[in-house]
Amino acid sequence: MRIVLISTPIGFLGSGKGGGVELTLNSLVSGLISLGHSVEVVAPKNSKLHESNVNAKLHFVEGEDQISWQHQDFNSHVSIPDNSLLAGMLEKAIDIAKHADVLLNMSYDWLPIWMTLNLEIPIAHIVSMGSESSVISNLISKVYAKYPNNFAFHSKMQANDYPFIKKPTIIGNGFNLDNYIFQDSVKGPLAWVGRVAPEKGLEDAVYVADQLGEKLKVWGFIEDEMYASKIEKLFPQGAIDWMGFLSTDELQKELGKCRGLLNTPKWNEAYGNVIVEALACGVPVVAYKRGGPSEIIMHGQTGYLADPDDKKNMLSYVEIIEKINRQKCREWVEKNASADIFANKVVNWLNEVMHEYK
């Protein structure tokens, strides 16, 4: 299959601004290539693919980023800036796709979904978020009526945000297991990993660590500085150990030394890459039972699911985290979320999409 992949129009690949989509795109590209497919990626200027993806051709586009939908009002109109990066990426992708079988869109935005109605070449969309915009959800509903196969979701809980999708295609997510090394660090610190932004609920994780008299190690791109400094002021000085944004390789080395990861989503998390990355290193996860995390974590086996927003309940599970067998965490990822398993699911789905156009 010749696949043209459209990246996120928020930040270049490697910047961290695109959140989990950046890693998902990389593992998907390597999974597809290892299955023998050809992949070309259209992405913002300065983007870098993981070194294992040298066989994928990368096309750069310059332009203005889109505003991320999770930071706009649900009822906001679509806004497209002058010199739009997203429009530029679409133009480039459509041009290349003249010689391809399918366009695969990984940006959560209005324009590529609307294009579905106006393109002869198949275009498939990996929806990376829950319903964050009424215009986008309404458009998905309209396009779905004509092209019911063209949307895939990472988890059932995410797809539930789009109730008009009757039988959603769930593709989960995939990870290059060679990039994560198992560590048996039962006595390490507590970790939190993610974009530092309100929908990620960092304050609840700091509360839990602080109650235990511990510093919380925090890795990730600080997307919202005001929010970060607001949290700092809520707790005694030094409660947060800011570790910065690291490459996957550096991150997994540090993360593997931790005895547990706390995951505190305040929104309907579509999947939760950082959970699986922790598990791949042997780190159990305590998360709120909300969105993707509630489908990934096996309660009592690879971590615990706490009642949403109940910090005390989360604390009680962190106190017994050493009961989790770290090897079981790694095994779960090997059996359920490798890059190959993910790529196979995506290929099966793309075949269905292409079939619709014949």
Q: How far is the CB of 202 from ligand UDP (least distance, A)?
A: 12
Q: How many CB atoms lie within 10 A of CB 324?
A: 24
Residue ranges in 321-340 that form contacts with ligand UDP under rule CB under 6 A: none
Restricted to residues 173-232, the positions that interact with ligand UDP (CB under 6 A) are 193-195, 219-220
Among residues 92 and 195, whose Cβ is nearest to ligand UDP? Answer: 195
Q: Toward ligand UDP, which CB reaches closer, 24 or 149? A: 24
The rounded distance, in Å, linking the Cα atoms of 358 and 353 is: 10
Question: Two tokens at 170?
Answer: 């769930």
Q: Residue 88 or residue 293: which is nearer to ligand UDP going by CB?
A: 293
| Residue 227: partners with Cβ closer than 8 Å, 6 or more residues away | 196, 197, 198
Question: Residue 154 Cβ, how far from ligand UDP at the closest point, in Å?
Answer: 9
Query: What part of residues 14-33 is at the interface with ligand UDP (CB under 6 A)?
Result: 16, 19-20, 23
- Burial of 98-136, coded b for 16+ CB within 10 Å and e otherwise, reads eebbbbbbbbbbbbbbbbbeeeebbbbbbbbbbbbbebb
Instruction: Rule CB under 6 A: say whether 68 interacts with ligand UDP.
Output: no
Binding mask 248-287 for ligand UDP (x = CB under 6 A): x--x-------------------xxxx--x----------
Tell me how far the alpha carbon of residue 123 is from its chain's centroid. Answer: 20
Nearest-approach distance from CB 220 to ligand UDP, in angstroms? 4
Nearest distance, CB of residue 268 and ligand UDP, angstroms? 11
> If we measure between CA atoms, which residue out of 147, 103, 145, 142 comes closest to residue 126?
103
Residue among 25 and 61 whose Cβ is closer to ligand UDP: 25
DSSP secondary structure letters along 168-215: -EE----B-GGG------TT--EEEES-BSGGG-HHHHHHHHHHTT-P
Nearer to ligand UDP, 122 or 256 (CB): 256
| Structure token pair of residue 284 | 């159990």
> Is 203 within 8 Å of 178 (Cβ atoms)?
no
Cβ of residue 119: shortest distance to ligand UDP, in angstroms? Answer: 27
219 versus 349: smaller Cβ distance to ligand UDP: 219
Looking at the Cβ atoms of 248 and 264, the one nearer to ligand UDP is 248
Q: Least distance (Å) from ligand UDP to the CB of residue 252?
A: 9
Of the candidates 197, 195, 211, the one whose C-alpha atom is nearest the C-alpha of residue 318 is 211
| Residues of this chain that bind ligand UDP (CB under 6 A) | 16, 19-20, 23, 193-195, 219-220, 245-246, 248, 251, 271-274, 277
